[in-house]
Amino acid sequence: MSQPPRAPRPDDVGGETNDVALTVLATDGPVDSVTLMRGRRELIIRHGADTYRLRITASNKLILTK
């Protein structure tokens, strides 16, 4: 018996498959920043027509800017 086709996976800015986005959507609790950032210091987030930048500062704080 065949399974239904999978929904398209979201892509991150670099064009790689973003497994973190699907994991985050399936989680009921808080998401660890290490999991979200995957070793990067900056993450670009699309929200509708807007683009946001989430980055880790030199003092290890998170900053979200538009």
Domain spans, the chain: 19-65
Q: Is the pTM of this model over 0.75?
A: no
What is residue 10's three-state secondary structure?
A: coil
CATH classification of 19-65 is 1.10.10.10, yes or no?
no
Q: What is the pLDDT of residue 41?
A: 95
Under 8 Å between Cβ of 24 and 40: no
- How much of the chain exceeds pLDDT 90, in percent? 42
Q: What is the pLDDT of residue 36?
A: 86
Sheet with 50-56, strands from edge to edge, namely: 42-47, 50-56, 62-65
